[in-house]
Amino acid sequence: MVYLVLEETTEAQARAQIETNFFGLLWITQAILPIMREQKSGHIIQVSSVLGLITMPALGLYNASKHAVNGMSETLAAEVAAFGIKVSIIEPNGFSTDWSSASAFHTEPNEIYKPLRKEVADSTLPEFWGRPENTVAAFLDLLDNANPPLHFLLGKIAYPAVKQVYEARLSEFEEWKDTAVNAHGSW
């Protein structure tokens, strides 16, 4: 697996990650929208990641690019619903693909992050990786559904991971709610 610690990432690498994962998706989406609006129907499937909902250390730019995909896609869903266009964001956990090998860029590792890399590597068990060939039925269910979900978690790791992180976030929001509300001021 390739780990890309934020401090190690060059400007060119960061721009390439955002250009590919976010801007590439945006330009393709803009190209298809006039056709779908004219036909008053369509289903846009955006490929994001569970890391568009939660994060993992040493994948900062990837996390950021997928969070951008999710934010854009959620906004898009609200903007195009009146035209009969549906949007689904596929948010898979890790799958056994070429994602982190030949198609990935590599940073120049800083030794200070060696313990972090080892911790992340040790926490990524073999059963974390789903099998791409097993996703066919799930994709067909999504495509055939008259009411497809906006968020489509894929894999057995995605749901429990997102649930754990979101429960912790809600707890933190609750803990700081009074301070946050008081910061609003009164009119």
Which candidate in 48, 49, 65, 73 is catalytic?
48
- Please confirm, yes or no, whether 66 is among the known catalytic residues: yes
The pairing of strands 151-154 and 42-47 is unpaired
Which candidate in 49, 65, 66, 86 is catalytic?
66
Q: Give the tokens for residue 71.
A: 């934010």
Spatial contact of 74 and 25, defined as CB atoms under 8 Å apart? no
Start-end of H helices in the chain: 11-18, 24-39, 60-80, 114-123, 136-144, 158-175, 177-182
3-class SS at 167?
helix
- Please confirm, yes or no, whether 73 is among the known catalytic residues: no
Q: Give the tokens for residue 122.
A: 């040790």
Which candidate in 3, 62, 65, 88 is catalytic?
62
Using N-to-C axis directions, what is the helix angle for 11-18 and 60-80, rounded to 10°?
30
Q: Give the tokens for residue 27.
A: 């330009």
Residue labelled with tokens 């951008």: 68
- Please confirm, yes or no, whether 113 is among the known catalytic residues: no
> Residue 13 CB: number of other CB atoms within 10 A?
16
Give the active site residues. Answer: 48, 62, 66
